Structure formats: C-alpha cells, structure tokens
C-alpha cells in the first residue's frame, strides 16, 4: 500500500552516543534529507559532534536538557537521551534509529527506505483482534484470509512500528558472548500486528510511533544499575514497549513489528562480557513480563496520559516491593506525564 508522507508530519530523532555521525548521516541522506532531524547528544559524551551539512538538523545537548527540564528524576544519559527528542518534537510522528545502524538491503539488493516503511506501517490499519496468517492484509498482493470476520476488516489505528535489524542482532550480553560470531542474515519480508494481549520486546534501535497520541507513554522508565551506552546494557526500551503495548491494548490501538530492517554494526562481544558482572537484566524480566501479562487497566483511563498514571500506580503497588528499581520506574513514569504536559503535548 502506498501512503503519502509529508515532511511536516515526521521528525527523525537520533540519539548521538558517539561523536562522529558523518558516515551515519551520509548513508541515510536519501531518506532523511527531506525531514527535520533532532539529534540529542548523550549527556555523558564530551567530544564535539560531527554532522555533515545538507540536513535540517537541530542538536540538543546536556545544557538544553537541564535548561528546559530543570531538576528531574529522569535520567537522560546513554540511549535514554533520545526520549528528550520525543519531548521537543512538534510533529505527529517520530522515527528513531540508533546511530550504529545503516540502511539495509532487501534480498533483491535494493536499499531499504526505512522511513517510508515505518510510515506505511503507521498509516495503514492494524489488526490486533485476529491473526491474519498471510501477515499484513493491507499490503499489495495480500488480503484477509478465509475465516477473517468482515466486521474486523477495517482494522484499528496503528500507533507504533517496531522495525528489525540485520547483521548484529539485538541480544542480551550473555547471548552476545556465547554467540559472538552469529549474525542475523534472515530477511523476513513481513509486517504483522502483534495480537491483543500478546506482549513483545520492542527494541529502541529502529522504531516509529504516533507521537501525538502515544507521547505520554514513550518514556525512559526502567533503568538498570549499570546501564551504559550499549544496547545490551539497557532494558529502558523493553519496559517502554511493554507499557505502550498495555496502553494500546487498553485503548484499542494496534502495534506492528517486522519491516523495515536496518543494518547494525558489529557488536563488541568482549565488552558484553565486561557488562555481565553487573548486569541485573537477567532476572529482572522474570518479574516484569508476568506483571505486564496480567495487568488490566480500568475502563476509566480513556487517554494515554490517564493509562500511564494508572499503570505507574500499579507498578508501585505490585512490582516496587520486589525491587527498588521498579519504584524508580514508577517515579519516572509519573514524572514523564508531567514533563509531557508542560513540554511535549504541543503539535506544530
């Protein structure tokens, strides 16, 4: 399906965790150049950023974050800095891609336009109530299979699109260490709606969402103790995705996963081994997932903001007693709804 994508409705948000963004911007030039790009520099990063000319870029640094927000309990360092970009964007949609990712090639050798694919995912309906075995029914050449109720064929609005990665897959540090030579080469040519009630690990590597609607739930909430600037050190995006899925399920919105792919650069398995000795993430998800699988939001939370506030309260009640990390997550979630109200909830 073809959709129209206007420059005025999309911001690209890039978290700069390394100073030299020249190869990144050069590679993405054909797809990014017509859009406004928000670069948020990791507050921990000292060196000056290198960004080539020819882009409509605005860079935000630690002083912008401190200046706008003042004292806040939310930690925007490392990968979490991109969320500041979500707050200062004024567009309906945001697309965010990690700075160690380049455009992928599809099996036919064509370079993948990740921007357009994300926008197709967001602008065509999602179908969370019944699984279509031929995947996205709105795709050219596809349709709803036999048995799909006609009353459900209009679908619902898609609010988040979770893209994937070739080459260096998005693994935890253990898997990186154990499978140090494994690379993801399997290009699966499909987009699908994640069914109602099913949870998925949304990765922040390559993601897009409807910022106007979903903004209040796009926060860095869960921060593990020794979080660094490697993806394998983070669970912030996984937590964020689970919160967003619960809210979407509650409000009748859809979430998709699959295309577009990006090409991730090599992992440094040696560094993953270093991370392991402090890594809390191993056992954390054994508490987190059952919580999200069973949580039910009341019918009163009819806005995303309302859902997040309710969810933060349930996190504090059910999860915080198990680990103080969850109390901090609940704090961050509540803080985010305030930040969003004062700084984020504005459109162009």
Binding flag, residue 293, its own copies (CB under 8 A): yes
Q: How far apart (Å, rounded) are the C-alpha atoms in residues 208 and 258?
A: 12
How far is residue 339 from each of residues 67, 72, 212, 241, measured CA to CA in Å?
Answer: 13, 9, 14, 19
Smallest distance from the beta carbon of 42 to its own copies, in angstroms? Answer: 19
Q: How far apart (Å, rounded) are the C-alpha atoms in residues 144 and 138?
A: 8
Is the Cα dihedral 30, 33, 37, 39 positive or negative? positive
Binding flag, residue 109, its own copies (CB under 8 A): no
**Residue of the chain from 65, 159, 169, 177 that contacts its own copies (CB under 8 A):** 169
11 vs 170, beta carbon nearer its own copies: 170
Q: How far apart (Å, rounded) are the C-alpha atoms in residues 298 and 294?
A: 13
| Footprint of its own copies on 9-48 (CB under 8 A) | none
85 vs 281, beta carbon nearer its own copies: 281
211 vs 231, beta carbon nearer its own copies: 231
Binding flag, residue 162, its own copies (CB under 8 A): yes
Cβ contact 117:97 at 8 Å = no
Cβ contact 236:80 at 8 Å = yes
69 vs 142, beta carbon nearer its own copies: 142
Contact stretch for its own copies (CB under 8 A) within 61-69, 143-151, 294-302, 335-343: 143-151
Q: How far apart (Å, rounded) are the C-alpha atoms in residues 201 and 235?
A: 9
| Footprint of its own copies on 230-289 (CB under 8 A) | 231-232, 235, 238, 257, 281-283, 285-286, 288-289
Contact stretch for its own copies (CB under 8 A) within 71-79, 84-92, 162-170, 321-329: 162-170
Residue among 242, 215, 182 at smallest CA distance from 303: 215
DSSP per position, 53-81 = SSSEEEEE-HHHHHHHH-S-S----GGGG
Q: How far apart (Å, rounded) are the C-alpha atoms in residues 271 and 268?
A: 6
Q: How far apart (Å, rounded) are the C-alpha atoms in residues 120 and 189?
A: 14
Cβ contact 166:262 at 8 Å = yes
Binding flag, residue 164, its own copies (CB under 8 A): yes
**Residue of the chain from 146, 277, 296, 299 that contacts its own copies (CB under 8 A):** 146
Contact stretch for its own copies (CB under 8 A) within 40-48, 112-120, 183-191, 294-302: 183-191
Smallest distance from the beta carbon of 292 to its own copies, in angstroms? Answer: 10
Q: Show Cβ contacts of residue 66 under 8 Å, excluding neighbours closer than 6 positions.
A: none
Smallest distance from the beta carbon of 290 to its own copies, in angstroms? Answer: 9
Q: Show Cβ contacts of residue 186 under 8 Å, excluding neighbours closer than 6 positions.
A: none
3-state SS assignment for residue 40 = strand
Per-residue interface string for the shown chain with its own copies, residues 186-205, x marking contact by CB under 8 A? xxxxx---xxxxxxxxxx--
**DSSP H or E run through 259:** strand 254-264
Smallest distance from the beta carbon of 246 to its own copies, in angstroms? Answer: 14
Binding flag, residue 2, its own copies (CB under 8 A): no
Binding flag, residue 175, its own copies (CB under 8 A): yes
Smallest distance from the beta carbon of 2 to its own copies, in angstroms? Answer: 17
Contact stretch for its own copies (CB under 8 A) within 94-102, 139-147, 208-216, 324-332: 139-147
3-state SS assignment for residue 88 = helix
Smallest distance from the beta carbon of 61 to its own copies, in angstroms? Answer: 28
**Residue of the chain from 49, 92, 131, 320 that contacts its own copies (CB under 8 A):** 131
Q: Show Cβ contacts of residue 320 under 8 Å, excluding neighbours closer than 6 positions.
A: 326, 327, 330
* Residues within the interface to its own copies (CB under 8 A): 107, 129-135, 139, 141-152, 162, 164, 169-172, 175, 179, 182-190, 194-203, 231-232, 235, 238, 257, 281-283, 285-286, 288-289, 293
């Amino acid at each position: 399906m073809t959709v129209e994508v206007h420059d005025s409705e999309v911001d690209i948000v890039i978290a700069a965790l390394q100073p030299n963004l020249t190869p990144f911007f050069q590679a993405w030039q054909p797809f990014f150049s017509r859009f406004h790009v928000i670069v948020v520099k990791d507050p921990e990063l000292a060196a000056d950023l290198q960004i080539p000319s020819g882009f409509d870029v605005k860079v935000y640094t630690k002083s912008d974050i401190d200046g706008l927000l003042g004292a806040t309990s939310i930690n925007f360092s490392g990968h979490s800095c991109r969320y500041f970009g979500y707050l200062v964007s004024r567009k309906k949609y945001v697309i965010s891609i990690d700075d160690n990712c380049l455009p992928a090639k599809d099996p036919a050798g064509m370079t993948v336009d990740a921007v357009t694919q994300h926008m197709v995912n967001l602008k065509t309906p999602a179908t969370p109530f019944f699984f279509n075995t031929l995947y996205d029914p709105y795709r050219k050449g596809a349709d709803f299979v036999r048995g799909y109720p006609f009353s459900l064929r209009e679908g619902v609005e898609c609010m988040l699109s979770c893209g994937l990665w070739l080459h260096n897959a998005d693994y935890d540090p253990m898997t990186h260490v154990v499978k140090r030579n494994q690379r993801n080469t399997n290009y699966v040519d499909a987009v699908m709606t994640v069914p109602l009630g099913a949870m998925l690990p949304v990765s922040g590597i390559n993601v897009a969402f409807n910022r106007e609607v979903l903004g209040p739930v796009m926060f860095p909430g869960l921060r593990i103790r020794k979080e660094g600037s490697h993806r394998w050190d983070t669970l912030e995006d996984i937590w964020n995705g689970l919160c967003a899925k619960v809210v979407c399920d509650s409000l009748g919105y859809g979430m998709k996963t699959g295309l577009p792919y990006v090409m991730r650069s090599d992992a440094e398995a040696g560094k993953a081994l270093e991370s392991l000795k402090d890594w809390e993430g191993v056992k954390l998800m054994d508490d987190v997932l059952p919580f999200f699988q069973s949580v039910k939001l009341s019918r009163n939370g009819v806005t995303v903001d309302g859902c997040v506030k309710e969810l933060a309260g349930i996190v504090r009640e059910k999860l915080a007693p198990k680990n103080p990390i969850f109390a901090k997550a609940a704090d961050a979630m509540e803080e985010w709804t305030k930040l969003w109200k004062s700084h984020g909830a504005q459109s162009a």
